[in-house]
Amino acid sequence: MIRSQSASQTAGPYVHIGCTPSFAGLKNMYGGHDLGAEMFSSDTSGLLITIKGRIFDGAGMPVTDAMLEFWQADSTGQYASQGGSQGWARRAVDAELAGYSLQTILPAAIGEDAPHIKVWVVARGINLGLHTRIYFDGQANANDPVLTSINDPVRKSTLIAIRDGESYNFDIHLQGENETVFLNV
């Protein structure tokens, strides 16, 4: 290595100013459009799904200043490598319950990798952004290399979104008994 990698620092409580300025109330910043508001354009083919969830700290309190980013393949198993932000989205969680809602399409399996969405979590108090994945209950998860490497069924279940009526539910626990499995990406 010729250069040393830059150290991470917390996104802090005001991340919204820089990443979702319209959400933060900066009038007409970037034409009033926050980057990553939509995961895919409306004409993208695939099974439409909605994922909802909340994010909690080690005391079970909502992490109301968190920002989440999502990155996924489309329904044919392709990642967008050029043009636009397809397959990528971000959400500031709401200031009361730390909830989010993401409308997207179910990604395809790629090889042994079961359908999943990559998630990156930043907030005040998180020194180095946290990576995890959303898998889906009822999909072909049996041979996925990440899931099969987790022996404890309770730990494994933290990565699997559960059907809840018309949508999926995926909560994130930063710490504690139900701590989400985070990945060394």
Partner 1 sequence: MTKDKPFNRPDMSLQPRALTPEYRSSRLRSPMRKLLSFTPSQGELLGPNFGHDVINLNDNDLIINYAAPGKAAIGEQIMVHGYMLDENARPVSNSLLEFWQANSGGRYRHKRDGYLAPLDPNFGGCGRTITDGDGYYSLRTIRPGPYPWPNGGNDWRPAHIHFSCFGLGWAQRLITQMYFEGDPHIPLCPIVQSIANGKAVDCLTARLDMEHTVPMGFRAFRFDIILRGQGSTLFENKLEGN
Contact by Cβ (8 Å): 16, 64: no
Please identify which residue in 46, 124, 157, 164 interacts with partner 1, judged by CB under 8 A. 124
Pairing of strands 160-164, 167-169: antiparallel
Nearest Cα neighbor of 141 from 120, 130, 154, 157 is 157
- Does residue 134 interact with partner 1 by CB under 8 A? no
Q: Which stretch binds partner 1 (CB under 8 A): 43-51, 69-77, 97-105, 134-142?
A: 69-77
Are the CB atoms for 71 and 87 separated by under 8 Å?
Answer: yes
The residues in 12-51 that bind partner 1, with binding defined as CB under 8 A, are 12-19, 21, 24-26, 29-31, 35
Binding partner 1 (rule: CB under 8 A), the pick from 11, 68, 93, 105 is 11
Region 90-109 residues binding partner 1, contact defined as CB under 8 A:
none
CA–CA dist 123, 35 (Å, integer): 18
| Contact flag: residue 179 with partner 1 (CB under 8 A) | yes
Cα 33 from Cα 103, distance rounded (Å): 17
Any contact of residue 136 with partner 1 (CB under 8 A)?
A: no
Q: Is 85 in the site for partner 1 (CB under 8 A)?
A: yes
